Each structure stands twice: as C-alpha cells, then as structure tokens.
Amino acid sequence: MRLIYFFFFMLITVGSFAQAKPRESLDPTVSEIWDLKPVKVTPAKNVGDAPSDAIIIFDGKNLNEWTSLDGTPARWEVKEGIFTVAKGTGDIKTKKTFGDIQLHIEWRAPTEIVGEGQGRGNSGIFLQERYELQVLDSYESVTYSNGQAGSIYKQSIPLVNATRKPGEWQTYDVIYTAPRFSENGRVVSQAKITVIHNGVLIQNDTQIWGPTEYKGLPVYQSHGKASLKLQDHGNPVSFRNIWIREL
Ligand code: MG
C-alpha cells in the first residue's frame, strides 16, 4: 500500500516537474518518510562480533549447530574457540536452513604450508549447500583465478586478492540473495552475492550462474531454503566466529 502511495507521490512530483514548477516552491516534507522505521539493532563494539539480531552458528564451544551431510554429528575438531576440518570426515552443514542472508565468517589457512594451488589450504563455504565461495591459501600460491580465495568457484574471479598470510585469521562478510524459481522450477532470478574479504570488496553483487560444478557448466535446479555447508577438502583449515542475519 505504501508503495502505491510512493508511486502516486512520484507521479505528482514528475507531473509538477512537467509543469515546470520551480523546485524552491515545493514542500520538502512531502518527500519525507516517517511511518516506516527500520528496526533498531545494537551493533557490536568490535565490528565482526555478532550484532543483537544475529543467529550464532558457532560460538567457540561446540558444533551443536552443525551436522555431517548424512545427519550424524559433525566430527571436525573443536579446540580453544575454533574448529578445524578433520580430514576425511566429510563436509558439515548447519542444522538451520536459510534463504537470503548476511553472513560473517572467519577462517584461517594452516601455518604449515603443504601442497600447491587447489591443494593448499582449500575449504569452501557453500551458500545453500550449492554455491561455493572459495576458501584457499591464495597468499603466495597460484591457481586458476576463478578458483582462488574469494572466487565463486569456477565462475567469478574476485576483484582483488585480499588474502592474508597462512596462519592469519581472515574474514568474509557476505550478502547473499537466494535464487528465485517459478512454480514449474525455472529460474526467475539468479542468486547474487557480495563479498567483503578482510574489509575489501571482492565480489560486488555478482550473479551466480548455478550450483558449483568442478566440471562443465552449472545448471540451476529449483530449491528452497538450505543449509550453509563447509567443505572438507582434506586440508586443516580452521573457522571461528560465524553468525548469520536472515534478510
Ligand atoms: Mg574449496
């Protein structure tokens, strides 16, 4: 209803321009919106800490919010406020499912450098279990650009390489818009993602072409809300301070 008022207001405004009414004579209060109030949220003192309305996905204590893909308890190692991929135990995913979200997640590639390219500090953050934001040690390790840290894997190259040294904590702040599907399962609008890596914009409202594929082109398949999934790629990548705001 308010949208209708807004369009009505715009019509009147455009109409008044058409009549060449001088701007100075217009009433400025007509374009003020007072009755729609954004909900008040208390931001954390330290940016990166969860604000008041966030869902805490990892609080440093346990993996109670997570499961293995087969529904059994997640078996990654929790120690001293962080958790680390336990090689061979498989990917883990959140018990809760999500659509559009704001996500904060911190990750660390292992200090001990092992392997090259895709084999060095590889993990991944799969939005809705399908769309991978790559986690990789891309500090001084070369791989294909659309597979480096901050890429939408095999799709979108990050705008810059903002990767810190292995062993240092890194942040991803993500704004994710889920794809929309028609009733017959066709994609109406593709997923979109904005990513800030260590405070630097690396994906700017990037269109996601479909589910992440190692080989071949992605093809969308209709889905609803889904988990956040983290990848066991065999490297001991660590995570901490993970929270989500549903949008
Ligand atoms: Mg990966």
Q: Give me the pLDDT at residue 181, please.
A: 98
Identify which of 56, 60, 97 has the alpha carbon closest to the alpha carbon of residue 82.
60
Question: Which pTM does this prediction carry?
Answer: 0.88
Q: What is the pLDDT of residues 223-242, one digit of tens each?
A: 999 999 999 999 999 999 99
- Separation of CA 76 and ligand 1 centre (Å): 16
- Separation of CA 234 and ligand 1 centre (Å): 10
Q: Which segments of the chain have a pLDDT < 70? A: 1-20
- Separation of CA 130 and ligand 1 centre (Å): 12
- Separation of CA 43 and ligand 1 centre (Å): 31
Q: What is the pLDDT of residues 123-136, one digit of tens each?
A: 999 999 999 999 99
Q: Give me the pLDDT at residue 202, please.
A: 97
Distance, CA of 121 to CA of 137 (rounded, Å): 5
Q: Give me the pLDDT at residue 11, please.
A: 46
Q: Give me the pLDDT at residue 1, please.
A: 47
Q: Give me the pLDDT at residue 37, please.
A: 84
Q: Give me the pLDDT at residue 19, please.
A: 53
